Amino acid sequence: MCGRFSFFDFLSFQRRFNLQIPALIQPRYNIAPSQEILAIVKPNPEDGYQTACFKWGLIPFWSKDGSAARKLINARAETVDQKPSFKHSFQKRRCLLPADGFFEWEKLASGKKPYRIVLKNREVFAFAGLWDAWTDPAGQTIHSCTIITTSANSLLENIHPRMPVILPQEAEEAWLHHETDRLILKNLLLPFPAELMESYEVSVRVNSPRNDDPGIIEPLRTP
């Protein structure tokens, strides 16, 4: 799964996507579910990329209440086009979710050990995401999203059996394009190459979302 990530390298993001970041989005080192996160969308076929702010935890448009958000922070790549909670968004509402690292926890007899996973070049990347718009009983529209996960690559498999789908840069346009075939989309949801990534242990301070500072991403031990 993917339950925490960071996004603070705004210069890398703007260099890569040439988009302005909304004022609501601030540098974050320990982003957690239910919080507002940055997304990149393509609302209409003729539009260019645009930024949006979504609540992390998908609320399908047909939900009777907003309780689904707590459970739908991730969508499995294997069934994302079949599950009622996700299949409409998979067809119509796909997005990119920028990040510069994410966290996973290795389960040990002594407890859970947290790791941060990044690209070796330390550049910003994009998770494959889905979004939806739900109107609550008071008439307020809430835009929310989920991160798609797949089986872990060889770097992550000893830490956790799942990992978020990181789209190669050359696949981002196809992911956002409205007319991309379903099978092509499914074939994009693969583990990112392990040789382009690295991981390192971090402090258990990351366990609490109240801790959100640069110290969160520092290696626990220096080789």
What percent of the chain is modeled with pLDDT above 90? 88
Per-residue model confidence (pLDDT) at position 222: 52
The active-site residue, picked from 36, 78, 104, 198, is 104
Domain 5-214 is found in CATH 3.90.1680.10: yes
pLDDT digits (tens, 9 = 90+) for 60-79: 999 988 888 789 999 999 99
Structure tokens at 10: 């705004």
- 171-191 mean pLDDT: 95
pLDDT of residue 214: 97
Reduced to 3 states, what is the DSSP secondary structure of residue 173?
helix
Active site residue 104: yes
Two structure tokens written together for 194:
């392990």
Whether 223 shows a pLDDT value over 60: the answer reads: no
Domain spans of the chain?
Answer: 5-214
CA trace torsion 120, 223, 221, 5 (10° rounding): 0
Amino acid present at 24: L
Residue 216 Cα distances to 6, 8, 14, 38, angstroms: 9, 12, 23, 20
2 is catalytic: yes
Distance CA 31, CA 4 (A): 5
Q: Is the pLDDT of residue 221 over 90?
A: no
The 10s digit of each residue's pLDDT in 119-169 is 999 999 999 999 999 999 888 999 999 999 999 999 999 999 999 999 999
Report pLDDT for 16: 93
